[in-house]
Structure 1
Amino acid sequence: MLNEFSRTQLLYGKDAMTKLAQSRIAVFGIGGVGGYVVEALARSGVGALDLVDDDRVCLTNINRQILATRKTVGKYKVDVAEERIKTISPSCEVTTYKTFYLPETQDQFDFRRYDYVVDAIDTVTGKLTIIENAGKLNVPVISSMGAGNKVNPSLFEVADIYETSICPLAKVMRRECRKRGIKSLKVVYSKEKPVRPLDDMSISCRQHCICPPGAARKCTERRDIPGSTAFVPSVAGLIIAGEIINDLTRDFSGEYHS
């Protein structure tokens, strides 16, 4: 029967689409990268998505985040994502968590429920906690490295964390993964040397922070405000989604994974 995923089924087959419909994927971080991951997973027929992010849409997100528009500024990202997913795939089960993932909040999540986990958050401590919790249960996880201060989307690669280079975040993650005995981690990273953002205080969040009162992590408290584009985080997110879909359906459509 013709449906919204018929064109995808032409490539992957009916059994693969059934597998996707029965899969639950957790996406930690629904920002520039994570938002596009969610978009592509929903459009690929994934049956259940757990969305984790305590942030609200900010005016400065509009340049790169698919969920950010003038109409969604001020709304929780996970709420905006849930509403959008339902307009794409009404049958998709969406569970939202207005939570900033850290060791202190990890007990809210049962990783045994997940068929795949996406780490698209910025904090090293949170990333490592996600990776360790997934690893203990042998749940596949893919982690996004730095997408800020980059302008060339063609330089993204999929690799094991220990095969990465140049990316400053990947360097830190390599060191910390080694300390914790993490033997392998699939990541998406860029070999592009980060661009140094202009020091223009007239448009800096440090001087003109518009985070709502009571925000847990205001821009004025951040060590650095990265520059960003519309096309770099989106590419990273779509690569991640593609890796997940291909991994989950590998047993059903091997000819498409050569």
Structure 2
Amino acid sequence: MSTTRTKSGPVEDIFSRSAILVGPESLSILERSSVAVVGLGGVGSYAVEALARAGVGRLVLMDFDRISPSNINRQIFALHSTLGQAKAEVARQRVLDINPGCQVQVFDEFVRRDDWSEDVLDEMDLVLDCIDSFSPKLHLIRTLLLKQQQFISSMGAAGKLDVSRVCQGQMSDTRNCPMARRLRKFLRKNQCSLQFPVVYSDELPRYWQPLESVSTGVGRDRVMQGSMVFVPAAFGITIASWACKTLFEGMA
């Protein structure tokens, strides 16, 4: 187990409170586990934070983007001191500051049909899909289904405000989620299963002003949707909690 030195001097196990809750055997399972988080935005950043503090032993983090001022209102890695930096590298440094014993591997790249590091996912016990743009998300889900890789996918957290409406279920169960609706259509068209775990919100989307498209410099232009920290953070914590429970059950 990881330990740290307190200001007063004694060495203390950083997961001592976790051990009281779940026991040393469960903590050992997390320490032996490998989890990939693809997409380090509002949802992914909080998922990584929770997994690091839970004690997952190996994290693979993927995101091509850099931190911008518009990220600060909802992404835990986004600070004035990190503006312009690669999200994946900022995430790596933060994870190691939380748990120096964690093995962290980062990929500063865009998920696309070719030329991305999908083979590393084969080594993972679990993959968390936290991508917030449609085309790379669809490609990742199809890839994971084809590989029969165990994964949990986050649906759309933008345009939502009520954390009490965050749900866990199967892709086929989703409702009131434009992202999930569009994904279901394309997955059915490609004869892909809709029986995989997702985190979603059944709150009706809200928009105070018309949506606008913005260029990211990679892939197609994206629609800028309204979002605050509450629901993306709740999604991230929920998907991380579900991931840990899945690991407990699958590796016991």
TM-score range, shorter chain: 0.7 to 0.9
Q: Matched residue of 1:142: which SS?
A: strand
Residue in structure 2 matching 1:97, options 107, 119, 122: 107
Pairing 1:75-224 to 2, within 5 Å after superposition = 75-183=85-193, 184-199=195-210, 215-216=217-218, 222-224=221-223
Aligned to 2:97, what secondary structure does the other structure show?
helix
The alignment's C-alpha RMSD in Å is 2.2
Higher strand share: 2
Q: Give the superposition deviation at 1:14.
A: 1.5
Q: TM-score if structure 2 supplies the norm length?
A: 0.88
Q: Does the aligned pair in 1 maintain the 2:213–2:223 contact within 8 Å?
A: no
Amino acid in the other structure paired with 1:191 = D
2:228 aligned partner: 229
For the residues of structure 2 that align with 1:158 and 1:148, how far apart are their CA atoms? 17
CA pair 252-9 structure 1, distance change in 2 beyond 3 A? farther
Instruction: Measure how far apart 1:197 and its partner are.
Output: 3.5
1:183-233: per-residue Cα shift (whole Å, max 9, x none)? 211111111111124259xxx896xx8x7xxx436xxx7352111112110
Structure 1 length-normalised TM: 0.86
Percentage of identical aligned residues? 36
1:37 pairs with 2:47: yes
Structure 2 distance, partners of 1:56, 1:251, is 35
Alpha carbons 2:165, 2:201 under 8 Å: kept: yes
CA distance in 1, matches of 2:251, 2:132: 34
Q: 1:233-254, CA deviations, whole angstroms, 9 ceiling, x for partnerless residues?
A: 000100000000011012678x
Q: Distance in 1 between matches of 2:222 and 2:17?
A: 45
- 1:66-90 CA-partner distances (Å, limit 9, x unpaired): 0001000100001111110011000
Provide the rounded CA distance (Å) in 2 between the counterparts of 1:107 and 1:44: 26
Report the alpha carbon displacement of residue 11 of structure 1 after superposing the two structures with TM. Answer: 2.0
Unaligned runs of 5+ in 2: 2-11
| Secondary structure in 1 matching 2:74 | coil
Q: Give the distance between the partners of 2:112 and 2:196, measured in 1 at CA.
A: 19
Q: Which runs of 5+ in 1 are unaligned?
A: 254-258
Which one-letter code corresponds to 1:59 in the other structure? P
Query: Which amino acid in the other structure matches residue 193 of structure 1?
Result: L
SS of the counterpart of 1:8? helix
